[in-house]
Amino acid sequence: MPDNLFLPPRAARLLRGALAAAAVPLLLTACSSADKTGDVASADAVTISDQWVKAADSGMSAAFGDLINSGDTPRTIVSATSPASGRIELHEVVVDANGTKAMRPKRGGFVIPAHGRTQLRPGGDHIMFMDLRGPLRTGSETSVTLTFDDGSTTTFTAQVRDFAGNQENYLPDHAGGEAHAGAQTPAHGG
């Protein structure tokens, strides 16, 4: 039977309009998680997969993987630590004026978009181990702790793998953050 059998057409339209208006806030409520207002710590919104660390005897190395954000807001990693390295920097790879690939500290850290992912790869963004405390042997594991800009932290374990490619120069961060040839140190893997 027609749903507006006992209502004049105008009243039926008003009623349907009122129901539609009422439905909108209900839907919004159902769709918004606590994360909408940042109530979920970044460490609980972001996970890492396919993580690994490059094997090295001494000096420098790097960690890679896929950072996945399941939350409704972008999340930012601002620093990292590991028992394997005395110092760690968050690096990006840039092309300098000579067309040479070089890496340097990434200003603002690693941002993972809402419901998106950020890939850490040789030749791209990576977690740079600046000062290894000992050899990183193929097949062993080490842990890395990430700190987000909300202060939350997450720790993951990564396997050490052989990797020979991507030997970029290092451009230490300095005032202005611009790459310039004079700042280069001898090439190392990143």
Task: Tell me how far, at minimum, the Cβ of 93 lies from Cu ion, in Å.
Answer: 8
Asked if residue 89 lies in contact with residue 128, where contact means CB atoms within 8 angstroms, the answer is: yes
The C-alpha atoms of residue 111 and residue 133 are separated, in whole angstroms, by 28
State the residue number with the nearest CB to Cu ion. 190
Task: Tell me how far, at minimum, the Cβ of 42 lies from Cu ion, in Å.
Answer: 23
Binding positions for Cu ion, rule: CB under 5 A = 91, 103, 128, 190
Token pair 């990292």 is found at: 80
Nearer to Cu ion, 54 or 91 (CB): 91
H/E stretch holding 29: helix 9-31
Nearer to Cu ion, 45 or 170 (CB): 170
Task: Tell me how far, at minimum, the Cβ of 170 lies from Cu ion, in Å.
Answer: 6
Nearer to Cu ion, 71 or 190 (CB): 190
Task: Tell me how far, at minimum, the Cβ of 120 lies from Cu ion, in Å.
Answer: 11
The C-alpha atoms of residue 160 and residue 141 are separated, in whole angstroms, by 6
The C-alpha atoms of residue 37 and residue 68 are separated, in whole angstroms, by 19
Asked if residue 112 lies in contact with residue 88, where contact means CB atoms within 8 angstroms, the answer is: no
Nearer to Cu ion, 12 or 130 (CB): 130
